[in-house]
Amino acid sequence: MSSAWRVTTAVGLFAVAVVGIIFAVLGLLSQPPTVDFTAGHSAGQPVDVTLQTVGSYGSGDHPTWVSYLTESPQGQWVHTTLWQLPAHTRVNMTIYNYDSGSPLRNQQIGQVTGTIGHVALLNGKPVRVINSNAGNGVGHTFSIPTLGINVPLYGNNGNANLCAAAPCTVSSPHQIFKFSFTTPGPGQYPWQCFVPCGLGFLFGNGGPMQTIGYMDGFMKVSA
């Protein structure tokens, strides 16, 4: 083999390796989009965040997975759990739960904690504890463990004609939760659902429960 041929093959293999690595890194870095609530926000004003939960996303890579969705300030439902929020600001949260519920593995998460007034409004009525063994049970929770925030989301009747493809509209059975909290200083705060709702996974905690964009996300607080 001539040395030109050697150099060519060496450089060629090197290029292939570099392209492969870049491709892999880009694949690993891909994340759901971040919904920005800071744009156009004036200091001191509360931020309104609206979420919905759906029992099965209905399309995409994982159509059977349960998921959260976020409504962007422009009113679009975005399949993401990443938000950008201003620091030290009151967040008025509204969550539409379109999923059914069940008894909790640990009723400890049936309590409302960490919100302003330690209370959440379920369809307009204040609740502090939801008995997951009664009624429709709890479908999901909205929890930011580092801030001590936990809001159990009362479920819909599992026998009703539930929404099975996101984004759901209020024509489907739903429960509306409203509560408020204040964002802390800058940083990234994980939030998640604590109800083991990953259908088909042992203990219900696999799949969507361990994937950013479904039942896990980050609240990115900027100064």
Task: List contacts with other proteins (CB under 8 A).
Answer: 3, 6-7, 10, 21, 24-25, 28-29, 31, 62-66, 100, 102-108, 110-111, 113, 128-129, 131-135, 137, 145-146, 148, 158-159, 187-188, 190, 192, 194-207, 209-212, 216, 218
Residue among 101, 83, 103, 108 at smallest CA distance from 93: 83
**Residue 176 or 199 having the CB closest to other proteins:** 199
Rg (CA), the chain: 21
Counting beta carbons within 10 angstroms of the beta carbon of residue 180, is it exposed (0 to 12), middle (13 to 18) or buried (19 or more)? Answer: middle
Residue tagged 């705060």 (tokens): 189
Least separation in angstroms between residue 159's CB and other proteins is 7
> 10 Å Cβ neighbour count for 115?
23
Cβ 190 to other proteins, closest distance in Å? 5
Which CB atom, from 9 or from 45, has the smaller least distance to other proteins? Answer: 9
Q: How far apart are CA 13 and CA 21, in angstroms?
A: 12
Is the Cβ of residue 96 or residue 191 nearer to other proteins in the bound state? 191
Residue 29 or 43 with smaller CB distance to other proteins: 29
92 versus 172: smaller Cβ distance to other proteins: 172
Structure tokens at 177: 């939760």
> Smallest distance, Å, CB 95 to other proteins?
18
Q: β-strand 120-122 against 125-127: which pairing, if any?
A: antiparallel
How far is residue 52's CA from residue 48's CA, in Å, rounded to a whole number? 14
How far apart are CB 131 and other proteins at their closest, in Å?
5
- Name the minimum Å distance from CB 64 to other proteins: 4
CB of 77 to other proteins, least distance (A): 21
* CA pseudo-torsion sign 102, 217, 168, 97: positive
- Within 8 A by CB and 6+ apart from 28, the residues are none
With respect to other proteins, which residue has the nearer C-beta, 93 or 112? 112
